[in-house]
Amino acid sequence: MTGGIGATAGADPSPNSPAPAGTDNGANWAERALHDMTLEQKVGQLFVADVWGQAPNEKHAGNQDKYGVDTPSDVVRKYQPGGVIYFNHGGTDNIERPKQVARLSNGLQRAAFSTGTGVPLIVAVDQEGGRVTRVGEPATEQPSAMALGAGRDPEAAEATAAVTGSELRSLGITQNFAPVADVNSNPANPIIGSRSFSANPGLAGDFVAAQVGGYQDSGRSTETVSSSAKHFPGHGDAATDSHTSLPTIDRTEQEWREIDLPPFQAAVDAGIDSIMTAHIRVPSLDPSGDPATLSKPIMTGLLREELGYDGVVVTDSLQMQGVREMYPDSEIPVLALEAGVDQMLMPPDLDVAIGGVLDAVDSGRITEQRIDESVLRILQLKHKRGIPEAPMVNIGAVGKKVGTPENRATVQAATDKAPTLLRNDEQILPLDGRGKTLVTGWNNLGFPGYPARPVSSLAAELGDSATALPTGSDPDEATVRRAVNAAGDADTVVVLTNGLAGDAGQRDLLHELLATDANVVAVSVQEPYDPGYVDVPTWLATYDWRDVSMTSLAKVLLGQQAPQGTLPVTIPAGDDPDTTLYPFGHGLTW
């Protein structure tokens, strides 16, 4: 094309250069870019690819296995996708240190410019906070959405989103697939849980709108990121995981309107750049049995027409089983476009996906005008976020923008509002530093790429009188016995739990410790539903296990601050889901 970013093949714009000629600092850059693309280039813009490796020219077997090329840059040059998405060590191993990520982003933008289109990439990531955190330390780590919901301070949630957005943008990441707009109405939901702000639609909507503002409206367009509310029409009532199956949501349409719709309506009203689809079946909204991602009644009828949404609609990963159960991989992108989707994330075979769309255009099934509609939305999103204006980042400035004391203080202040005291029957808390404390229980061995540290982190925060004995996610009898023996030397035992419903070993650990002479404090450090499974006289919930949450927990345990959190969900009895143990809004203090 002519007149766009990097109109000279291989151009390497300076991170400090003004907007290139031809952008007009207006939306007509998108129309001009679209006009100068071939059909094949337009179709490439529809896809966001996963690439393997930490450097743009690093040879990685993952790229050969999936794409038949060696490096991330080769993938970009071969397919000319509209975007790429980063994962950490548990996935495509793109993320190690902040400056490394910034160099990767710049290198991939150079690869995009070298194709001659002059259209920069969207660089995406899932940086929700809590357990869905791709860019970790030394970046500023965030608590989970539910932790923020427990704090009941939307302004604090907006401030944390602004921190995340500014740090991501300094790394060359321009699209964050957050916030989660799902209402976690099903305590047994295996995939959403504490990723949701609340089981209350109004509370969830307030926090979704706040975070959209933090991501998108907290600075100049070249300093913010595009946000994406997920997963429409609402994944919160799912009883199965759409990564491995196609969940069916049995709500009536009226129930959907009352429970699931409000946070997405709030996101639309807040001007969100994109909305991510859910690979779920909702018969009351579309009786065809198609997953929502491929449903025209849901994507066009509800989202486009009823909600009036004209931004980018992006699929959840097309590698997930929930969208692959009914149709071949070549058909899924075509059905998504027919349903009203624009941007397609991580197809399992990009050659097959692109070929399927091109064949559909060639046969007349999809018009090139329909392709243009989606590509124009994607290009307009790129322009809105200032990506053509500032496609590259200043690597030398990364250290001054990522993980700063100011950013950490902002997030810590928000997280300090989260710890929720559910029971303090024996008035054990606050500890006030009295006696010896053993910290034991769950650690995060099941999360690839993260050190197993919540137990040791909390013990360090509690001071010299505390010792750490992690017992893992499913302690065996010998591990439980070691913890019980260690409790003999302690006045208080703090036990971290996560997922008691499905973990007999953790339940045994709690029961055995309760039989000792030590005072026992149980803390649910992810989903807050664990108190429904073991009767402990002292229970807290933190909704997250990262260091920032353990710091907040320590302040409460030591009496340095009173607990401020109130439940953003209802906690039922584990053996009787219809019986409420702790109602929405419950939270003790002193």
28-392: which CATH topology? TIM Barrel (3.20.20)
Residues 6+ apart with CB under 8 A from 6: 12, 13, 20, 112, 113, 118, 120, 391
CA 588 to chain centre: 30
Q: Is the pLDDT of residue 80 over 90?
A: yes
Low-confidence winner among 102-111, 179-188, 441-450 (lowest mean pLDDT): 441-450
Q: Among 211, 199, 189, which residue's Cα sits nearest to residue 150?
A: 199
Q: Domain spans of the chain?
A: 28-392, 416-582
Q: List, by residue number, the catalytic residues.
A: 243, 316
Q: What pLDDT does residue 345 have?
A: 98
Q: Is the pLDDT of residue 241 over 90?
A: no
CB 122 within 8 A of CB 381: yes
- Across the range 64-92, mean pLDDT stands at 96
Cα atoms in the 13 Å half-sphere on the side-chain side of 217: 10
DSSP notation for 358-387: HHHHHHTSS-HHHHHHHHHHHHHHHHHTTT
Query: Between 1 and 557, where is the model more confident?
Result: 557
pLDDT interval class at 389 (50, 70, 90): very high
Q: What pLDDT does residue 32 have?
A: 95
Pairing status of strand 132-133 against strand 127-129 = antiparallel
Angle at the Cα of 407 (from 15 to 218), degrees rounded to 5? 60
**What values do phi and psi take at 236, rounded to 5?**
-75, -20
- In CATH, 416-582 is 3.40.50.1700: yes
Angle at the Cα of 163 (from 162 to 164), degrees rounded to 5? 90
Angle at the Cα of 194 (from 313 to 218), degrees rounded to 5? 55
- Across the range 399-413, mean pLDDT stands at 98
pLDDT interval class at 424 (50, 70, 90): very high
CB 152 within 8 A of CB 210: no
Cα atoms in the 13 Å half-sphere on the side-chain side of 553: 32
CA 415 to chain centre: 17
Q: pLDDT tens digits for 200-233?
A: 999 999 999 999 999 999 999 999 999 999 999 9
Neighbours of 152 (CB within 10 A): 20
Q: Is the pLDDT of residue 377 over 80?
A: yes
Q: What pLDDT does residue 1 have?
A: 33
Q: What pLDDT does residue 4 have?
A: 33
- Average predicted confidence (pLDDT) for the chain: 93
pLDDT interval class at 116 (50, 70, 90): confident
β-bridge partners, 495: 440, 522
CB 262 within 8 A of CB 205: yes
CB 145 within 8 A of CB 407: no
Q: pLDDT tens digits for 453-496?
A: 899 999 999 999 999 999 988 999 999 999 999 999 999 999 99
The identity of residue 541, as a single letter, is: A
The identity of residue 396, as a single letter, is: G
- Across the range 86-111, mean pLDDT stands at 96
Q: Is the pLDDT of residue 129 over 90?
A: yes
Q: What pLDDT does residue 451 have?
A: 56
Q: Among 385, 237, 230, which residue's Cα sits nearest to residue 313?
A: 230
- Across the range 245-264, mean pLDDT stands at 96
Integer Cα distance of 440 and 470 in angstroms: 5
Q: pLDDT tens digits for 5-24?
A: 333 333 344 433 333 433 44
**Tokens for 53?**
């490796």
Q: pLDDT tens digits for 512-538?
A: 999 999 999 999 999 999 999 999 999
Cα atoms in the 13 Å half-sphere on the side-chain side of 38: 9
CA distances from residue 235 to 249, 276, 316, 347 in whole angstroms, order as listed: 8, 11, 12, 21
Low-confidence winner among 239-248, 323-332, 354-363 (lowest mean pLDDT): 239-248
The identity of residue 154, as a single letter, is: P
**Tokens for 343?**
């941007």
Reduce the DSSP state of residue 88 to 3 states and report it. Answer: coil
- Across the range 262-280, mean pLDDT stands at 98
Q: What pLDDT does residue 2 have?
A: 29
Q: Is the pLDDT of residue 341 over 80?
A: yes
Q: Over 12-78, what HEC string results?
A: CCCCCCCCCCCCCCCCHHHHHHHHCCCHHHHHHHCEEEECCCCCCCCCCHHHHHHHCCCCHHHHHHH
Q: What pLDDT does residue 15 have?
A: 37
Integer Cα distance of 29 and 390 in angstroms: 14
Q: Is the pLDDT of residue 112 over 80?
A: yes
Dihedral angle of Cα 275, 281, 286, 292, to the nearest 10 degrees: 20
- Across the range 345-349, mean pLDDT stands at 97
Residues 6+ apart with CB under 8 A from 325: 245, 246, 291
Integer-rounded Cα Rg, in Å, for the chain is 24
Integer Cα distance of 436 and 492 in angstroms: 6
- Across the range 554-581, mean pLDDT stands at 96
Q: Is the pLDDT of residue 444 over 80?
A: no
pLDDT interval class at 322 (50, 70, 90): confident
